[in-house]
A and B are shown apart, each in its own frame.
Chain A
Amino acid sequence: MATDNLAEKIPDFNGVAPIQGGGPVDVSALASVRRAKGFKEISKVLLLGILVVTLLEFILIWTKTPLYIFPRPTLVIKSLFHDFGPLYRQPLLQTVQEFFVGLAFGASIGLALAVLVTLKPGLDIFISPYIIIMVTTPMIALIPFLMLKFGFGMTPRVIAVALASGPMVMINSATGFRRTNAELIALGKSYGATEFQLFRKIRFPFALPMIIVGFMVGSIFGLLTAVGSEMVGGGGGLGNRLVYFSSLVRMANFGAVLVIVATFGVALYSFFTFVNRKYASWQV
Chain B
Amino acid sequence: MTQGTKSRIDIKNVSKIYKTGSGTVEAVKNFTESVKDGEFVCVVGASGCGKTTLLWCLSGLHPSTLGTVEIDGEILNAPMPGKIGMVFQDSNLLPWRTLMENIELPFQIKKKPINHELVEELLEVAGLKGFENSYPGELSGGMKQRGSIVRALAQDPEVLLMDEPFGALDAFTREEMNLFLLKVWAKTKKTIVFVTHSISEAIFLGDRIWVMSPRPGRLARVVDVDFARPRHIDLQFEPDFISILKEIRTEVEGSKAGKGN
Query: Which stretch from B30-38, B56-64, B203-211, B244-252 is at the chain A interface?
Result: B56-64
Closest to B157 in A: A190
Are B53 and A205 in touch, CB under 8 angstroms?
no
Closest to A23 in B: B95
A69 close to B (CB within 8 Å): no
Query: Which stretch from B102-110, B186-194, B230-238 is at the chain A interface?
Result: B102-110
Closest to A188 in B: B109
B99 close to A (CB within 8 Å): no
B137 close to A (CB within 8 Å): yes
Are B95 and A192 in touch, CB under 8 angstroms?
no
Residues of A within 8 A of B219 (CB): none
Determine the distance from Cα of A188 to Cα of B79 in the docked complex, in whole angstroms: 10
Q: Mark A64-103, 1 if CB is under 8 A from B, else 0.
A: 0000000000000000000000000000000000000000
Residues 29-78 (chain A) with a chain B CB within 8 angstroms: none
Determine the distance from Cα of A192 to Cα of B79 in the docked complex, in whole angstroms: 7
Are A189 and B106 in touch, CB under 8 angstroms?
no
Residues 1-22 (chain A) with a chain B CB within 8 angstroms: 1-2, 5-6, 20-22
Are A187 and B86 in touch, CB under 8 angstroms?
yes
Determine the distance from Cα of A280 to Cα of B95 in the docked complex, in whole angstroms: 10
A201 close to B (CB within 8 Å): yes
Determine the distance from Cα of A283 to Cα of B84 in the docked complex, in whole angstroms: 30
Are A282 and B95 in touch, CB under 8 angstroms?
yes
A284 close to B (CB within 8 Å): yes
Interface size on A, residues (CB 8 A): 29
Q: A197-B109, A284-B137 are in contact. Are A2 and B90 (CB under 8 A)?
A: no
B145 close to A (CB within 8 Å): no
Are A189 and B62 in touch, CB under 8 angstroms?
no
Determine the distance from Cα of A264 to Cα of B92 in the docked complex, in whole angstroms: 40
Q: Mark A183-216, 1 if CB is under 8 A from B, else 0.
A: 1101111111100010001100110100000000
B155 close to A (CB within 8 Å): yes
Are B95 and A184 in touch, CB under 8 angstroms?
no
Residues of A within 8 A of B110 (CB): 191-192
Are A183 and B105 in touch, CB under 8 angstroms?
no
Of the residues A23, A184, A192, A202, contact of B81 by C-beta under 8 Å: A192
Q: Mark B91-125, 1 if CB is under 8 A from A, else 0.
A: 01011100000000110111000000000000000
Residues 112-142 (chain B) with a chain A CB within 8 angstroms: 135, 137
Determine the distance from Cα of A183 to Cα of B86 in the docked complex, in whole angstroms: 10
Closest to A197 in B: B109
Of the residues B82, B92, B108, contact of A184 by C-beta under 8 Å: B92
Residues of B within 8 A of A276 (CB): none
Residues of A within 8 A of B62 (CB): 2, 5-6
A181 close to B (CB within 8 Å): yes
Q: A201-B105, A201-B108, A282-B96 are in contact. Are A187 and B53 (CB under 8 A)?
A: no
Are B94 and A184 in touch, CB under 8 angstroms?
yes
Residues of A within 8 A of B92 (CB): 181, 183-184, 187
Q: A1-B48, A1-B53, A284-B137 are in contact. Are A190 and B59 (CB under 8 A)?
A: yes
Closest to B107 in A: A191
Of the residues A2, A23, A187, contact of B55 by C-beta under 8 Å: A2
Residues of A within 8 A of B82 (CB): 192
Determine the distance from Cα of A188 to Cα of B109 in the docked complex, in whole angstroms: 8
Residues of B within 8 A of A205 (CB): 94, 96
Residues 41-72 (chain B) with a chain A CB within 8 angstroms: 47-48, 52-53, 55-56, 59-62
Residues of A within 8 A of B10 (CB): none
Determine the distance from Cα of A193 to Cα of B155 in the docked complex, in whole angstroms: 14
Determine the distance from Cα of A197 to Cα of B108 in the docked complex, in whole angstroms: 9
B88 close to A (CB within 8 Å): yes
Are A189 and B61 in touch, CB under 8 angstroms?
yes
Residues of B within 8 A of A2 (CB): 52-53, 55-56, 62, 163
Are A283 and B95 in touch, CB under 8 angstroms?
yes
Q: Distance in Å from the Cβ of B213 to the closest Cβ of chain A?
A: 16
Residues of A within 8 A of B95 (CB): 22-23, 282-284
Residues of A within 8 A of B135 (CB): 282
Q: A2-B163, A21-B90 are in contact. Are A192 and B109 (CB under 8 A)?
A: yes
Determine the distance from Cα of A197 to Cα of B106 in the docked complex, in whole angstroms: 11
Are A191 and B56 in touch, CB under 8 angstroms?
no
Determine the distance from Cα of A122 to Cα of B65 in the docked complex, in whole angstroms: 23
**Residues of B near any A CB (own CB < 8 A):** 18, 47-48, 52-53, 55-56, 59-62, 79, 81-82, 84-86, 88, 90, 92, 94-96, 105-106, 108-110, 135, 137, 155, 163
21 interchain pairs, CB-CB under 8 A: A5-B56, A5-B62, A6-B62, A186-B59, A186-B61, A187-B92, A189-B79, A190-B61, A190-B84, A190-B85, A190-B86, A191-B81, A191-B155, A192-B79, A192-B82, A197-B109, A201-B105, A201-B108, A282-B96, A282-B135, A284-B95
Shortest Cβ-Cβ A-B pairs, 9 listed:
A192-B81, A282-B95, A282-B96, A191-B106, A2-B52, A193-B109, A191-B109, A21-B90, A190-B79
